């Protein structure tokens, strides 16, 4: 009896760990080791042979191969010296193989985060289980920091705020809750489960409802309720004071003019021009009376904006998460607003969609406040006229010092200057200052000259493990046994230690929802 020769060197090269590398075929390796889980596979291993003699004769009629039945687990233990591969087979081969296959077959869920009930919870549940099992043996890597730096930074004028991340477990729980949506037949209890998911997610938020945006919006409410209200009231009071003082000044000017302009004393060019300038100045000051009504209109509009928009925004931000959770989730699906995880911010309540609408409404109601600031130009024009009235040094005017009647006119003009300077000039200045102060404060309100753009979405980041493990290389050998002219070939496996070098195995992606906003000049 003899053993047929095989390519022993080639067999060694195939099995030797030093030659295992990137060209390894994970599927082929695992298929060769099927049955390791549960030790379900056995092999008949030859160890010798016997001649079969013809009945009643000494002639050989055949050959009988002697074998021993061995379990695959025992053979692996003999080759590897421990049971690490045996107990890791499910992870190394089955779960890793499923993950590799599912990543390709169910890419819509693994990569794109689909939300299409009713069967996606099965896909995501399987992915979740695979990720958990692989994470028990391997470190899970991710490119989260890279994605954040690339997609979630505040650039191009945007301020970006992160919503709570959504893990694989969160994703699975949501899909599980959404099972009824596919049939459009959710019960009240099932809708409550969906609402509870969103409420729990919103409750974990730290940046949107309590971050820069909420502080900015709270600042708007404070400005409208406090500073702007006071500033506008000050303008109205200042405008009213101008009119009150104007009446007093106008009465005095009229009395002075009546007294000094007797017998055509004011018919001269100098006197007539000054009388005309004073009259025009007083009329211009009188025309400022409409600032009072403009201030009242602005005040009413300010209150309207505060009550109908700013307070409502704050009410939204103050709502409990249960109240923010979407009440009409079926409508979101029907409107194709909730197709994938990139749309998940639709479920963050009116904080998202409502903010953009309220901002547009606020901007559309600012005109009366903007118009009020423009009255500063008119006030400054009146002040210029007043200063022009006060500029002449009438006591040094030779023309009006020539006669007793002209000197009376001269002294009357000086009295007019005194009345205007003492009673009218300062109120006009205070009116200008009041409008200017409001204008400067109002310029700080971004919606005065810009439109608020609001956007939202979700970025995904990849996760993976580097699959590597020691495993038994399987080489199927063949021995030929002979007896006389008879021969019999016997195939059997031989296991030797090998190493599966690291192969990247993708896990289901996880998600980082966000809200972003910016102001665009109009």
Proportion of the chain above pLDDT 90, given as a percent:
73
Q: 436-464, pLDDT tens digit by residue?
A: 999 999 999 999 999 999 999 999 999 99
Give CA–CA dist 227/229, Å, rounded: 5
Q: Between residues 119 and 476, which one has the greater pLDDT?
A: 476
Q: 58-97, pLDDT tens digit by residue?
A: 888 899 999 999 999 999 999 999 999 999 999 999 999 9
Give CA–CA dist 413/249, Å, rounded: 13
pLDDT-derived band at 4 (thresholds 50, 70, 90) equals very low
Q: Is the pLDDT of residue 8 over 50?
A: no
pLDDT-derived band at 21 (thresholds 50, 70, 90) equals very low
Q: Where are the domains of the chain?
A: 8-82+467-503, 108-204, 213-454
Give CA–CA dist 161/491, Å, rounded: 65
Q: Which residues of 273-307 are buried (b: 16+ CB within 10 A; e: fewer)?
A: ebbeebeebbebbeebeebbebbbbbbebbeebbe
Predicted pLDDT of residue 38: 93
Predicted pLDDT of residue 283: 98
Q: Which of 6-10, 469-473, 516-520 has the lowest mean pLDDT?
A: 6-10
The model carries a pTM of 0.82
Predicted pLDDT of residue 228: 98
Q: Which residues of 336-363 are buried (b: 16+ CB within 10 A; e: fewer)?
A: eebebbbbbbbbbbbbbeebbebbeebb
pLDDT-derived band at 118 (thresholds 50, 70, 90) equals low
* Mean pLDDT, rounded, of the chain: 90
Q: 218-273, pLDDT tens digit by residue?
A: 999 999 999 999 999 999 999 999 999 999 999 999 999 999 999 888 999 999 99
Q: Is the pLDDT of residue 57 over 90?
A: no
Q: Is the pLDDT of residue 14 over 70?
A: no
Predicted pLDDT of residue 350: 66
The dihedral of CA 381, 384, 385, 386: what is its sign? positive
Predicted pLDDT of residue 117: 64
Q: Who contacts 212 (Cβ-Cβ below 8 Å, separation ≥6)?
A: 159, 161
Predicted pLDDT of residue 47: 94
Whether the CB-CB separation of 372 and 260 falls below 8 Å is answered with no
Give CA–CA dist 230/454, Å, rounded: 31
pLDDT-derived band at 119 (thresholds 50, 70, 90) equals low
Q: Who contacts 291 (Cβ-Cβ below 8 Å, separation ≥6)?
A: 235, 236, 239, 372, 375, 378, 379, 431, 435
Give CA–CA dist 191/196, Å, rounded: 9
pLDDT-derived band at 9 (thresholds 50, 70, 90) equals very low
Show the CA angle centred on residue 400, arms to residues 398 and 404, nearest 5°: 115
Q: Is the pLDDT of residue 188 over 70?
A: yes
Which of 17-31, 283-297, 302-316 is predicted most confidently?
A: 283-297
Give CA–CA dist 373/43, Å, rounded: 95
Q: What is the DSSP string of 416-463?
A: HHHHIIIIIIHHHHHHHHHHHHHHHHHTT-GGGTEEEEEEEEEEEEEE
Give CA–CA dist 438/473, Å, rounded: 83
């Amino acid at each position: 009896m003899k053993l047929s020769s095989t390519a022993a060197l080639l067999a060694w090269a195939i099995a030797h760990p030093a030659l295992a590398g990137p060209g390894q075929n994970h599927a082929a390796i695992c298929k060769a080791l099927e049955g390791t889980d549960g030790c379900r596979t056995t092999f008949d291993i030859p160890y010798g042979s016997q001649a079969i003699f013809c009945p009643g004769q000494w002639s050989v009629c055949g050959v009988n191969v002697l074998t021993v039945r061995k379990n695959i687990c025992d053979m692996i233990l003999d080759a590897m010296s421990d049971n690490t591969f045996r107990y890791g087979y499910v992870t190394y081969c089955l779960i890793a193989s499923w993950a590799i296959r599912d990543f390709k077959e169910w890419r819509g869920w693994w990569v794109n985060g689909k939300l299409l009930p009713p069967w996606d919870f099965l896909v995501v549940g399987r992915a979740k289980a695979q990720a958990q099992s692989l994470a028990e043996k391997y470190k899970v890597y991710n490119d989260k920091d890279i994605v954040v730096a690339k997609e979630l930074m505040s650039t191009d004028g945007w301020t970006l705020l992160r919503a709570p991340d959504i893990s694989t477990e969160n994703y699975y729980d949501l899909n599980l809750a959404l099972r009824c949506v596919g049939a459009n037949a959710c019960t009240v209890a099932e809708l409550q489960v969906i609402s509870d998911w969103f409420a729990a997610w919103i409750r974990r938020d730290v940046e949107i409802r309590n971050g820069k945006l909420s502080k900015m919006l709270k600042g708007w409410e404070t400005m409208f309720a406090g500073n702007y209200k006071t500033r506008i009231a000050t303008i109205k009071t200042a405008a009213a004071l101008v009119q009150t003082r104007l009446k007093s000044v106008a009465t005095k000017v009229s009395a002075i003019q009546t007294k000094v302009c007797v017998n055509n004393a004011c018919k001269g060019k100098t006197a007539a021009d000054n009388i005309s300038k004073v009259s025009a100045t007083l009329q211009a000051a009188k025309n400022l009376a409409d600032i009072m009504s403009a201030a009242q209109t602005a005040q009413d509009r300010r209150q309207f904006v505060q009550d109908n928009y700013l307070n409502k925004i704050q009410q939204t931000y103050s709502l409990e998460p249960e109240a923010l959770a979407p009440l009409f989730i079926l409508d979101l699906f029907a409107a194709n607003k909730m197709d994938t995880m990139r749309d998940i911010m639709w479920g963050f309540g009116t904080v998202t969609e409502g903010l953009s609408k309220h901002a547009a409404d606020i901007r559309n109601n600012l005109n009366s406040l903007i118009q009020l600031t423009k009255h500063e130009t008119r006030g400054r024009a009146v002040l210029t006229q007043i200063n022009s009235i006060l500029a002449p040094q009438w006591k040094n005017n030779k023309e009006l010092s020539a006669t007793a009647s002209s000197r009376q006119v001269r002294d009357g003009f000086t009295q007019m200057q005194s009345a205007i300077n003492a009673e009218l000039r300062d109120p006009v200045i205070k009116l200008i200052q009041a409008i200017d102060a409001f204008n400067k404060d109002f310029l700080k309100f971004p919606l005065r000259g810009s439109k608020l753009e609001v956007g939202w979405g979700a970025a995904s980041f990849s996760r993976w493990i580097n699959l590597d493990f020691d495993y038994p290389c399987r080489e199927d050998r063949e021995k030929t046994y002979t007896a006389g002219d008879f021969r019999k070939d016997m195939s059997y496996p031989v296991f030797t230690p090998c190493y599966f070098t690291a192969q990247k195995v993708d896990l289901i992606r996880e998600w980082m929802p966000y809200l972003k906003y910016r102001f665009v000049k109009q």
